[in-house]
């Protein structure tokens, strides 16, 4: 068994979960230091929620072992649940209770000594005071998520597991939500957050990317981009759709993706990629060498795995 370490909030090895005949999480190893914000990325159905549920003691892994907040994820699930705030994908509070009533209800469920005070503190912390008497069901997506976060942190957890907390939320509310996540991490909370948004991934200390239940890469963004070893060009000009189609079957090109009015083209063989850029650059299409972005790297990873799975 992995020894408990005070500096590591999540420390799991070889986590595996099988539903029927499908291995949904496959030999996943993950370590998250305390106080870090760890992003969890991957396409729909790649196993993020299932992993989160194993970490917080809601599901027992079929193989693998590890600790969450120092507790054994197999044998001490009840202790884990007491110290973890889990924000699920769906809105799980009462729509026909007000914001204040929802928070007080959560405080009572957790047996907090002064539920009204705890709810009031959460209202103030999350800027919800002016809306305290509004019904939860009438809130917009951004305010609902803010309330859900308030309910999550109310019992004073050490770890937050947030499953796509900002799906369907507008950009301003997403930014505010992330500012709050950073405040919480600065206060010592550890956060594991799944997301599909690249700008959110870039606000994490480290990220892990999973595909078909397997961990493909993990580390800081700089580490992940460096590991990918992509030489990248940004192409602008006319006729980019036709160029993209041609490049997809060009030897030496590993990644082609359209970003607005530009095309990102990358390859792991730097010399081959430079030769392609020189050959293709024209008055109509300008090729500019640029750093690979995190999104370039993920597109490359997905393309590679898609090809190897064919």
Ligand X SMILES: Nc1ncnc2c1ncn2[C@@H]1O[C@H](COP(=O)(O)OP(=O)(O)OP(=O)(O)O)[C@@H](O)[C@H]1O
Structure tokens given for 31: 């370590």
50 binds ligand X (CB under 6 A): yes
Decide whether 199 or 241 has the Cβ nearer to ligand X.
Answer: 199
232 binds ligand X (CB under 6 A): no
* Least Å from the CB of residue 290 to ligand X: 29
Give the contacts of 175 (CB within 8 A, at least 6 positions apart): none
Angle, alpha carbons 72-200-231 (nearest 5°): 105
Q: Compute how many residues bind ligand X; rule: CB under 6 A.
A: 10
39 binds ligand X (CB under 6 A): no
Beta strands in the chain, from DSSP E residues, in sequence order: 8-19, 22-33, 37-41, 63-68, 71-72, 84-87, 159-163, 190-194, 206-211, 214-219, 231-237, 255-259, 262-267, 285-290
Decide whether 45 or 168 has the Cβ nearer to ligand X.
Answer: 45
Among 34, 36, 38, 48, binds ligand X (CB under 6 A): 48
46 binds ligand X (CB under 6 A): yes
Q: In the stretch 2-31, what mask flags binding to ligand X with x, by CB under 6 A?
A: -----------------x----x-------
Distance of CA 186 to the CA centre of its chain: 18
Dist CA 165 CA 14 (whole Å): 26
Dist CA 106 CA 99 (whole Å): 11
47 binds ligand X (CB under 6 A): yes
Q: Which stretch binds ligand X (CB under 6 A): 43-51, 134-142, 151-159, 228-236?
A: 43-51
Residues making contact with ligand X (CB under 6 A): 19, 24, 42, 44-50
């Amino acid at each position: 068994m992995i020894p408990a370490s005070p500096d590591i909030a999540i420390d799991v090895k070889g986590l595996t979960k099988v539903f029927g005949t499908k291995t949904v999480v496959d030999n996943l190893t993950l370590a998250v230091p305390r106080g870090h914000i760890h992003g969890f990325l991957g396409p729909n159905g790649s196993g993020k929620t299932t992993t989160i549920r194993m970490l917080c003691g809601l599901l027992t892994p079929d193989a693998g072992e590890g600790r969450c907040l120092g507790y054994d994820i197999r044998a001490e699930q009840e202790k884990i649940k007491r110290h973890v705030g889990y924000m699920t994908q769906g809105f799980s509070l009462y729509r026909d209770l007000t914001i204040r009533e929802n928070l007080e209800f959560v405080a009572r469920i957790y047996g907090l000594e002064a539920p009204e005070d705890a709810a009031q503190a959460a209202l103030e912390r999350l800027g919800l005071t002016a809306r305290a008497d509004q019904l939860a069901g009438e809130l917009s997506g951004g305010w609902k998520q803010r309330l859900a976060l308030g309910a999550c942190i109310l019992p004073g957890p050490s770890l937050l597991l947030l499953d796509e907390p900002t799906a369907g939320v507008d950009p301003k509310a997403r930014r505010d939500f992330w500012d709050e996540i950073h405040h919480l991490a600065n206060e010592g909370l550890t956060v594991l957050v799944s997301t599909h948004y690249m700008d959110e991934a870039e606000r994490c200390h480290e990220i892990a990317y999973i595909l078909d239940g397997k961990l493909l890469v993990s580390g800081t963004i700089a580490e992940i981009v460096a590991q990918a070893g992509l030489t990248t060009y940004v192409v602008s000009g006319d006729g980019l759709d036709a160029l993209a189609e041609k490049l997809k079957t060009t030897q030496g090109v590993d990644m082609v993706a359209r970003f607005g009015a530009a095309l990102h083209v990358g390859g792991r063989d730097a010399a081959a990629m430079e030769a392609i850029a020189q050959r293709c650059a024209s008055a109509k299409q300008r090729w500019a060498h640029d750093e690979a972005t995190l999104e370039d790297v993920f597109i490359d990873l997905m393309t590679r795995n898609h090809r190897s799975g064919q």
